[in-house]
Amino acid sequence: MDIINVNDAMARLNNNKKLYVMLLKKFHAQSLLDDLLGNIESGDSAGAKASAHTIKGLAANLSLMDLRAKAEDIENQLKSGRISIDTSEIELSVVQTIEAVESYIAENS
């Protein structure tokens, strides 16, 4: 699965790469992940669902496809009542997404 679907992003933003770079710079994936992990660790199911939903929505709007899919999976597990969740896949996705975003910004700034 694509980490970033630039074609999808450009379709959303009327081919405005400058705007896309600006939006990507404001996306703080690690902070969002930290919130999600903290909520899961503390047993805050509602907070964890909200965190997963936020990551999913922001990732979808930015066409960060792998992260969106991983966040959706976590959100679905939480909705089904699970609070003990393996987060290794979303953690890896955040690392890969950050790397891809930084690379895209460097190439397009």
Note the pLDDT of residue 109.
87
Please state whether the predicted TM-score (pTM) of the whole model is above 0.85: yes
pLDDT at 1 over 70: no
Which domains are delineated in the chain?
A: 6-108 (1.20.120)
Task: Locate 92 and state its tokens.
Answer: 């890896």
Report the alpha-carbon distance of residue 100 to residue 84 in Å, rounded: 29
pLDDT at 6 over 70: yes
Q: Give, in order, the Cα–Cα distances in Å from 49 to each of 17, 22, 61, 81.
A: 32, 27, 18, 10
